[in-house]
Amino acid sequence: MFKKILIANRGEIALRIMRACRELGVQSVAIHSTADTSSQHVKYADESVCVGRTSSAESYLRVPNIIAAAEITGADAIHPGYGFLAENPEFAEICAENGFTWIGPPAEVIRQMGDKATARTMAVAAEVPVVPGTGLVASVEDAVKAAAEFGYPVIIKATAGGGGKGMRVAWDEDELMKNYVAARTEAGASFGNDAVYIEKYLVNPRHVEVQLLGDGSGNVLYFGERDCSIQRRHQKLIEEAPSPAVDADLRRRMGEAAVRLAKRVGYTSAGTVEFLLDEDGSFYFMEMNTRIQVEHPVTEMVTGYDLMKWMIRVAAGEDFTFTQDDVVVRGHAIECRINAENPERDFMPCPGRVFYYHAPGGPGIRVDTHVYSDYMVPPHYDSLLAKIIAYGEDREEAVARMRRALTECVFEGLPTSTPFHLEVLENPVFLAGKATTRFLDEELPQLQEGLRVRAKSEEG
Ligand code: MV4
């Protein structure tokens, strides 16, 4: 096992990694910006190094400073968490070149999966189902020809994209010709790479993703799925495990498909294969995320495995002490992401001081947060305040516990997404387990009306 790990991140995920380190008897090193001097991850760590000024570009993304911090503290490994440098293959290589173990998948796999057209090709090679589509298309004529083959609507995707950027839907040939140019222009401006490919557009799918973990001996295990259909502008708001739309047979088929892809590319560490699950029960490869994800706790709750500790153990060369048959999904877990934002004002981020924080608790509740009373939420980073995770024997109990936890929770001084979550937890479509990726667009008027009523009754 490692002696000391540098955590190249901040916020709740830095704390989560440090908690795993402490349980493993590993020393932790925090890095921080000048805006995060009094952050929890700095206090919790055994050592800390300031790596730069407030902006991410000058601190959490400043590779030479992070490597220097690892050198002066004598760390033997680097954990990137999610976001920042987690899916930067050059950073993974630079860590290794400087003698630090990268706690993540091989750099070459990060690179391959970061290119969405390549990832799609790898999925085909691994016999993982993909939506009818193309490789990179060289011209608008090729795009029109391909679309005529598999039929409208189609979606144009930037190969350098992911998370929705450089994506355009086209319902007919005219729209395709227009949006093809728009997608390429946006992709070129956003990523410095304007290459695009085309897929048949699934109109009303669910987002279902499979959690994987690979050790250094070629073993790859799946830990069931998460349903992340409730998103707004490609930001996930609520995640749950298991998916209400997945039964044991589908779980096994999706899990085995995800493992085939992972084995094909030589995957190690924690990773996630995202699928679109169609209304008829067919599933299709969407993307592979080569990192530990925000929503990993729901999987930890329903499987009982500490994914973060296993991610560290396999990076240190340990193999699994259990098999696929040992991984059983039991009960139900839901996560609500609490952001410092105003759902009544188009989810506008609202950084500022949390004058008073009170954590929910009791049976089945887990809170992953870096917030404390009098904490100043800096405006420079993402607005995630806390993840509340509720576990229950079944979905109904998980929902009831989540409602209770959300009403116990206090973040004084800031608007948060808490009331919005309470609205979703009363929505009939959500309660029926029928939410698809269109849920938020379709239900937003009712949810916002509910929010206004809620705000009024709090005034009165
Ligand atoms: C799709 C799709 C429908 N059909 N691909 C969204 C981000 C990127 N990961 C790919 N995305 C989609 N790809 C085909 N062929 C619909 C989406 C999509 C989506 C997917 C998951 C969750 C929310 C979404 C919201 C809009 C579009």
As annotated, the residues of the chain forming the CATH 3.30.1490.20 domain(s) are: 132-200
Nearest to 336 by CA among 409, 386, 400: 386
Q: What is the pLDDT of residue 460?
A: 61
401 pLDDT above the threshold of 90 = yes
Say if residues 416 and 397 touch (Cβ distance below 8 Å).
no
- Which of 68-77, 171-180, 344-353 is predicted with the least confidence, judged by mean pLDDT? 344-353
71 CA distance to ligand 1 middle (Å): 41
3-state percent helix, strand, coil for the chain, nearest multiple of 5: 40, 25, 35
Q: Can you tell me which atom of ligand 1 is nearest the CA of 201?
A: 4
Report which secondary-structure segment, H or E, holds 162. Answer: none
Q: Can you tell me which atom of ligand 1 is nearest the CA of 231?
A: 23
Q: Can you tell me which atom of ligand 1 is nearest the CA of 133?
A: 15
CA distance 48 to 37: 9
Per-residue pLDDT tens digits for 39-56: 999 999 999 999 999 999
In the CATH hierarchy, which top-level class contains the domain 4-103? alpha beta
322 CA distance to ligand 1 middle (Å): 34
Fold of 132-200: Dna Ligase; domain 1 (3.30.1490)
394 pLDDT above the threshold of 80 = yes
Nearest protein Cα to ligand 1, atom 23: 437
Confidence of residue 159 (pLDDT cuts 50, 70, 90): very high
Nearest protein Cα to ligand 1, atom 16: 202
Percent of the chain at pLDDT above 70?
A: 100
Residue 293 corresponds to which amino acid?
Answer: Q
Nearest to 244 by CA among 229, 258, 255: 229
3-state secondary structure of 277: strand
Q: Probe ligand 1: pick from 150, 155, 204, 225, max atoms within 8 Å of CB?
A: 155
Q: Probe ligand 1: pick from 150, 157, 167, 233, max atoms within 8 Å of CB?
A: 167
State mean pLDDT over 421-436: 98
The residues carrying an active-site annotation are 291
State mean pLDDT over 30-36: 98
282 pLDDT above the threshold of 80 = yes
As annotated, the residues of the chain forming the CATH 3.30.470.20 domain(s) are: 206-459
Q: Which residue has the higher pLDDT, 162 or 310?
A: 310
This prediction's pTM: 0.97
DSSP letters, 104-143, are SS-HHHHHHHHSHHHHHHHHHHTT--B-SEEEE--SHHHH
State mean pLDDT over 133-150: 95
State mean pLDDT over 120-149: 96
Fold of 206-459: D-amino Acid Aminotransferase; Chain A, domain 1 (3.30.470)
Q: Probe ligand 1: pick from 229, 276, 284, max atoms within 8 Å of CB?
A: 276
CB atoms within 10 A of CB 259: 22
Q: What is the pLDDT of residue 383?
A: 93
Q: What is the pLDDT of residue 458?
A: 80
Angle subtended at Cα 387 by Cα 448 and Cα 323, rounded to the nearest 5 degrees: 125
As annotated, the residues of the chain forming the CATH 3.40.50.20 domain(s) are: 4-103
Nearest protein Cα to ligand 1, atom 6: 164
Beta bridge partners of 392: 332
458 CA distance to ligand 1 middle (Å): 37
Q: Which residue has the higher pLDDT, 343 or 311?
A: 311
Q: What is the pLDDT of residue 166?
A: 84
Look at the chain and count its residues: 460
CB atoms within 10 A of CB 127: 10
163 pLDDT above the threshold of 90 = no
Pocket of ligand 1 (CB under 6 A): 131, 155, 162-164, 199-202, 205, 207, 231, 234, 276, 286-287, 437
3-state secondary structure of 191: helix
